[in-house]
Amino acid sequence: MTEYRLLIGGELVAGDATLEVVNPATGQPFVTVPRASPRQAEAAIAAAKAALPGWGATPIDERRARIVALADAVAANADALARSLTLEQGKPLPEAQGEVAWTEGYLRHYATLDLPDRVIQDDDQGYIAVRHKPLGVVVGIIAWNFPLLVACWKIGPAVLAGNAIVLKPAPTTPVTALKLGELCREIFPAGVVNIITDANDLGAHLTSHPDVAKIGFTGSTGTGKAIVANAASGLKRVTLELGGNDPAIVLDDVDIKATAKAIFGNAFLNAGQVCLAVKRAYVHEDIYDAMCEELARLAQEAVVGDGLEQGTSIGPIQNRAQFEKVQGFLETARRDGKVIAGGQVLDRDGFFIAPTIVRDVTDGDRIVDEEQFGPILPVISYADIDDVVMRANASEYGLGGSVWGRDVERAAAIAGRIESGQVWVNQHIAIGPHIPMAGFKNSGLGVEQSVEGLAEYTQTQVVNIAR
């Protein structure tokens, strides 16, 4: 059986304690992994700090080459990584394979990003250039929905910019991150990448540590706010990718079958546990019944099961706490609206909920106002465009939003009125390493991806020479 180890200072080490990891498809532990103590978190930060001078002075092309090597290693270990993703996270194996392929692609793209010195004056009076310097020790803290991809969203830009990182996965999905640690050990100098696990107890320590310069966080809005508070006394740089309650506005001129299929796919990917999933569908009253019917048909057709079984299209909820939270949403959905597909927990072991479509709900109902983060989609009727835009924007969140219509110009004009970091027309969750990703309001702080995201892992320095 595989022995998992933490990665601290270039060494694979046992944890001071252990952690059992549950397979959400069975509800039973399937592996024991190390759990780092505060002492080991301290050692990881010290190792990162010690690695900084050497790594920061390493030529950028060499740093790029290491990131490409990590992409190669991810590709070479794709089968094992995908299998462990399905085992710990629950997603169907083809989705896990997709996550591994995305991870490789993101890393390859990061390796091409460039933040060259920018000369803003060079004349008789003087020379002024703007540079981007490494920040120092970065802490990356992530959620449990994309344990491999999001780990690399932190590691790639952080180390390309010349920082060293301590990455901490979510306690319920540490396995793939530890496998990634084994790969990183072969590729990066000691201390540049450190990977430690916890039982939800090291976050405050890591994010308030005086030797940490920057925190890259993906997770819930509540934890994001706690991190900002913790980081405040040290004025640490913080990038937050938080929750969302993405609206999809469906106009009256759509092709109903095709649009329902696309919206269903973007609502139920990873059993709805995607920050950028469609979480509220606003459908024009003229096509409301037909759209609800089609969405319900798709939900009934979906194959819910163990992600390792061939043919499964929707896996379990990732962990028991989220499973219980989503059951609470099911109750309020039954109370406030009409459940036309799903609506129940599956009668089997594991954390399974049948994909659920709820109609006849509206703004003010909990299932519409709050982020479900599970396989439930509320479908809301509207009559007036100004009204639906107002309702779409009446949220504490502003991560993504989409408008669906045959008349693309009309749809794009409406999309431009949605208050969210990304607005799409006739698509949703369309993201990439070259596309800045940001959130309005309680959905985040700062930008990830692209050169803009990379810049957030650097300190701007002005060099100003008198002549």
Which residues lie near ligand NAD (CB under 6 A)? 141-145, 168, 170-171, 200, 203-204, 207, 218-220, 223, 226-227, 241-244, 275, 371, 373, 399
Q: Shortest Cβ distance from residue 199 to ligand NAD (Å)?
A: 8
Pick 224 or 405: Cβ nearer ligand NAD = 224
CB of residue 408 to ligand NAD, shortest distance in Å? 27
Kindly state the smallest distance separating residue 210's Cβ from ligand NAD, in Å: 16
**Residue 62 C-beta: closest distance to ligand NAD, Å:** 30
Q: Which is nearer to ligand NAD, 355 or 453 (CB)?
A: 453
> To the nearest whole angstrom, how small is the minimum distance from the Cβ of residue 143 to ligand NAD?
3
Looking at beta carbons only, is 118 or 434 nearer to ligand NAD?
434
323 C-beta neighbours (distance < 10 Å), count: 19
Smaller CB separation from ligand NAD, 58 or 220: 220
Nearer to ligand NAD, 136 or 243 (CB): 243
Comparing CB distances to ligand NAD, the nearer of 160 and 215 is 215
Q: Which residues lie below 8 Å from residue 243, measured CB to CB, with a gap of 6+? A: 220, 221, 275, 371, 373, 397, 399, 442, 443
Residue type, 265: G
Known catalytic residues are 241, 275
* Selection from 84, 111, 240, 67 nearest residue 177 by Cα: 84
Q: How far is the CB of 268 from ligand NAD (least distance, A)?
A: 15
**Closest distance to ligand NAD from the beta carbon of 171 (Å):** 6
What is the C-alpha separation between 87 and 24, in angstroms, rounded?
8
Instruction: Describe the crossing of helices 93-110 and 78-89 by its angle, rounded to 10 degrees.
Output: 120
The residue with its CB nearest to ligand NAD is: 203
Closer Cβ to ligand NAD, 143 or 262, answer by number: 143
CB of 334 to ligand NAD, least distance (A): 23
Q: Which is nearer to ligand NAD, 66 or 179 (CB)?
A: 179
